[in-house]
A and B are shown apart, each in its own frame.
Chain A
Amino acid sequence: MSPDETEALLLRLGPPAPTAGLRARVLGLTRRPRPFPVLLAAALLFGLVFWALFRDVRRDPAVGGQDPSRTAPAFALVEKPEPWLFRNPVWRPDRKQVVLDDGKGIRVIWLKPPVGEAPLSEPRLTVVSTSGYVAYSPDSIHLAVLDGKELRIHESDTLGQVYRHQFPDQEMPYRVRFVGPDLLLVVRFPDERSLFRRVQRAWVPEPRIPFEGTRFEVSPDGKWFVHQEQRGNFDRVVLEVGTWKRAANVRMPIQVPGSIGTHMTFSADSKYLAVEGSSRGEGYPVNYAVIETGSWREVLRGQYRPASGISFFFTGDSRHLILGAVDRVRAVRCEDGSEVASMAICDDCTATARPIGELIQIDCLERGKVVFRLSAP
């Protein structure tokens, strides 16, 4: 048998594949064992929800003429659930449901009853998937579940399946999100190339739109799509969703492509886009800028030394930018760049942070999951 024939034979036979258990083991590396049962997790989550819904009636430390900067820490701890008891809750926009990953499955938890049903005596749990990513449509009608190679759309009230798509072997679905009332973007990563496509509410896929690299964001109002070019100056290119015309080029110098100093994020009201520039590694100064969408005018520019684990995001009210620096998490006012709050983080803390409404959640390997409220004015 010639070498060419041998090569062809080996290619035809193909490599052995790992078991599905390996994927679970590898993804499980980021988890810690949870000693409490799921219902206890749900109960704690219910408590957090109760607090979130009724926090406005709590006593504000600023009331009574006290200066909050004297009486309260800059970031006030408002909740400290058990570490890793529940992960990354995804809320239905009308707050009737929350989806969480408890390590055994993706569970939908009913917090309020569906229309026409009696009030719930306790949260109701439904498992929709063993793993995956989820997203609710802005009108709360649909729930998208990306489970491995399969995309499913459920009607969120009944959890009945209304659409299902199996991706081909060579394509890796990566993220799913709704933008606007009628659109679903599915982003995929075959090798180093990225594709995304729009799926209309009738669940008819549209042609795929290629873009470079793996970094992108979509504005919450669904109007803008920004991604980072992988050559030249590593510009952030903003496209208008739908027409896919180039709306802006944001140039921030990036010396070395990497994952530090390269964040992009939109504010919740889609008014601002914040980008970082320069990527030499943890602790090196990084420039950042806040840009007004539409006019693409730069409203703020600054510098900080980022930590690898802390995200770069706006607070829920879009007024402040949260910067995870190596020493402290800082809140900077978009209007004038002034630092309005800060909080020290632990040494060797690997953390991610994200806004939950008006709250800021920090997942810290050392301290567990903690939720803070920005108490500065």
Chain B
Amino acid sequence: VIRPFNVEIADLYARHAAGLYAYARAILGDPGRAEDAVQEAFARLLEQGVDRISSVAAFLYAVVRNGAIDEKRRASTRARSLPYFAVATPDPAERELRERASAGLAALPEEQREVLVLKLYSGKTFAEIADLTGTSLDTAHSRYRYGLEKLGRLLEGIEGRTT
């Protein structure tokens, strides 16, 4: 079979794009700019050459992180932030839950939000998170725990609607 696409990039996209996008959204808030950050990461990967990079996943996440933080700093005045969780649902209770969860996540300190998203949505281990964020393993653990505790407090009153 001759492959019409760059199979390596298509495969890497299938493996990492969702996690990268979830991460970029957590930093930037804006869906369009989050997608730009992910695209930029793959562009950098192509520039560098996949064969020359020992850990493609670590490279992609590092580029997204650096790019997203720079972009957020640069565009803070014109930044828009949409709810992290989609609220397009006909169920009013579910909509309220999603709105509050989005607001709660946005209210977390950035370093805690980052660890939560990397762990839960990007499938990263604490060791990988520590490497990526330049912290110790213990710090990554504690940020995750503090993040869950704080978000839990922000979401008080919606017990029973979590399943």
Interface residues of A (CB under 8 A from B): 1-3, 5-19, 21-23, 25-27, 29-30, 87-90, 99-101, 106, 131-135, 172, 174-177, 189, 191, 214, 258-260, 281-282, 308, 350, 354
- Given A100-B4, A101-B5; 15 other pairs, CB 8 A cutoff: A7-B120, A9-B97, A12-B162, A15-B117, A15-B121, A16-B21, A16-B22, A18-B17, A23-B17, A26-B9, A99-B4, A106-B4, A133-B5, A177-B1, A189-B11
Complex contact B85–A13 (CB within 8 A): yes
Q: How large is the interface on B (under 10, 10 to 19, 20 to 34, 35 or more residues)?
A: 35 or more
Chain B residues, Cβ within 8 Å of A99: 4
Give the top 10 A-B pairs by smallest Cβ distance, nearest first: A15-B22, A101-B4, A15-B121, A3-B148, A1-B152, A6-B152, A18-B21, A308-B51, A9-B162, A177-B1
**What would 30 A/B residue contacts be, using CB atoms closer than 8 Å?**
A1-B158, A3-B148, A3-B149, A6-B151, A6-B152, A7-B120, A8-B162, A9-B101, A9-B155, A10-B101, A15-B25, A16-B84, A16-B85, A16-B86, A18-B18, A21-B35, A23-B17, A27-B5, A27-B13, A30-B9, A131-B4, A131-B5, A133-B3, A134-B1, A172-B11, A175-B7, A214-B11, A258-B51, A281-B51, A308-B51
Instruction: Count chain B CB atoms within 10 A of each CB in A29, A101, A214, A350 and give the residue with the most.
Output: A29
Interface residues of B (CB under 8 A from A): 1-11, 13-15, 17-19, 21-22, 25, 31, 34-35, 38-39, 42-43, 46, 49-52, 84-86, 97-98, 101, 116-117, 120-121, 145, 148-149, 151-153, 155-156, 158-159, 162-163
Chain B residues, Cβ within 8 Å of A282: 51-52
Q: In the complex, A11 Cα to B101 Cα: how many Å?
A: 12
Complex contact B42–A29 (CB within 8 A): yes
